[in-house]
Amino acid sequence: MDKIKFRHFIVAITILFVLTACTLPGFSTPTPFSFPTPDKTMTALFEPTQVAPATSAADGSTDESSDESSDAAQKTAAALAPSDTPTPTGELPTATEEPTETVDPDEAYKGPAVRSGPSITADYMDKKPGIDGDLYEWHPPIQKVINYVVFGADKHSGELDASGTVVAGWDEDYLYLGVRVKDDKYVQKGVREQIYLGDSIEILFDRYVSADYYLQAMNDDDYQIGISPGKDGILAYSINSGKVASMSLFTHTATPKPGNPPQAYMWFPKAKAGKKTEIKIGALEGGKGYQVEFKIPWSLLGVTNPSSGDHYGFAISINDNDKAGTLLQQTMVSNVPTRYYSDPTTWGDLYLK
């Protein structure tokens, strides 16, 4: 009995030692267990989770799925949003010296009906003049000296080298022009589109000034026409007075050579370019110059009802080549000092009286 009590005593002492040993150095105190209380934090654990608002790239988010979703959304929005930037065509325009026909006038180009440059008056012709190169049938006065050098100033030696005067008239069917040219050496080897590379006349005509008054490019209501008196030797006259004058001062000294007649060529509009037999030309050549007389059908210029008081854009010029046997435009003189062939805003005026 005593042994049993002693054994129980030893077991109790052992249990007590084990329990007290947990607080000895080298042993950690176990964390006490406690049940959570029903506060707001606990309530939040069981509430539905809210979707986080979308973030922008600016917030520094590094979540790849969020970045991809955001990028896709931005691309979709960009595709649906209108763009102010024109879509490139992939092809740049080619630079060219030729005037363009692709620019259509609009409200931005509309303006006055009369060009501010020098004006030439065309008188109404009661009687149609014969187109023979002589101006004896003309009653309108000679006007407007053509002596403003607009090309090749370094090759122009003065009035006797290249200059001229013009007379103009009109009726319901034609525009009539006569030009007296001072030229100390007649050289013309060119035909068709090359006639400007020899002694010749050139006119610029704008049918509808007010529609594209400010447009600095030619379009389909603008015309560029060249008039050749003929190749070298078509007519040879001596001029008794030492200057180009009326036919009474010419003495015929040669027979016109076949195959070298005067001709007209239209460069612009390009859609109508080519030799123009509708333009009738008469020419006289002399040792100190030449005379050219020609008539242009209004229909060729797109004019349907010419009337007194009408105004058109206009410039008339003289090409000069003094280098025999060559195709060369050395000089051009014009009645308009600002004249540039492909810019109608630099032209002058033609007035139908």
pLDDT computed for residue 227 by the predictor: 97
pLDDT > 90? residue 67: no
- pLDDT-derived band at 43 (thresholds 50, 70, 90) equals very low
C-alpha span between 123 and 353 (Å, rounded) = 5
- Give yes or no for residue 26 having a pLDDT over 50: no
Predicted confidence band of residue 142 (pLDDT cuts 50, 70, 90): confident
The pLDDT-based confidence of 69 (bands split at 50, 70, 90) is: very low
Tokens 């060219």 sit on residue = 96
Angle among Cα 40, 45, 51 to the nearest 5 degrees reads 110
Once rounded to an integer, what is the mean pLDDT over residues 32-55? 34
Tell me the pLDDT tens digit for each residue of 247-286. Answer: 333 333 334 455 678 999 999 999 999 999 999 999 987 7
Distance from chain centroid for Cα 232: 37
Distance CA 222, CA 352 (A): 18
pLDDT of the residue at 25: 46
The shares of helix, strand and coil residues in the chain, as percent rounded to the nearest 5, are 20, 25, 50
Residue bearing the bigger pLDDT, 261 or 3: 261
Between 134 and 271, name the one with better pLDDT. Answer: 271
Mean pLDDT score, 321-331: 93
For residue 344, cis peptide bond before it (omega within 30 degrees of 0): no
CB 332 within 8 A of CB 161: no
CA distance 241 to 249: 7
In whole numbers, what is the pLDDT of the chain averaged over residues?
74
Q: What is each CA distance from 164 to 110, 227, 322, in whole angstroms?
A: 33, 15, 16
Tokens at 195, concatenated: 């006639």
Query: What are the φ and ψ backbone dihedral angles of 192, each rounded to 5 degrees?
Result: 50, -130
User: What is the full DSSP assignment across 336-349?
Assistant: STT--TT-GGG-EE
What's the pLDDT at 48?
Answer: 36
Does the predicted model carry a pTM greater than 0.85?
A: no
**Beta-carbon contacts of residue 61 (< 8 Å; ≥ 6 apart):** 55, 67
280-315, pLDDT tens digit by residue? 999 987 768 999 999 999 999 999 999 999 999 999
Asked if the 118-352 domain carries CATH number 2.60.40.1190, the reply is yes
Residue pLDDT, tens place only, 87-124: 333 333 333 344 445 455 567 899 999 999 999 999 99
Flag whether pLDDT at 344 surpasses 70.
Answer: yes
Q: Does residue 227 sit in helix, strand or coil?
A: strand
Give the residue, 96 or 211, on which the prediction is more confident: 211
Rounded to 5 degrees, what are φ and ψ at 9?
-65, -40
- The domains of the chain are located at 118-352
Is the pLDDT at 79 greater than 70, yes or no? no
- The predicted-structure confidence for 160-173, as pLDDT tens digits, reads as follows 999 999 999 999 99
Residues 6+ apart with CB under 8 A from 105: 211, 212, 215, 219
Percent of the chain at pLDDT exceeding 90: 53
Closest CA to 227 of 255, 249, 201: 201
**According to the per-residue pLDDT averaged within each range, which of 60-69, 95-104, 202-211, 241-250 is highest?**
202-211
Task: Report the pLDDT value the prediction gives residue 172, as an integer from 0 to 100.
Answer: 97
The confidence score (pLDDT) of residue 105 equals: 56
The pLDDT of 324-343, averaged and rounded, is 95
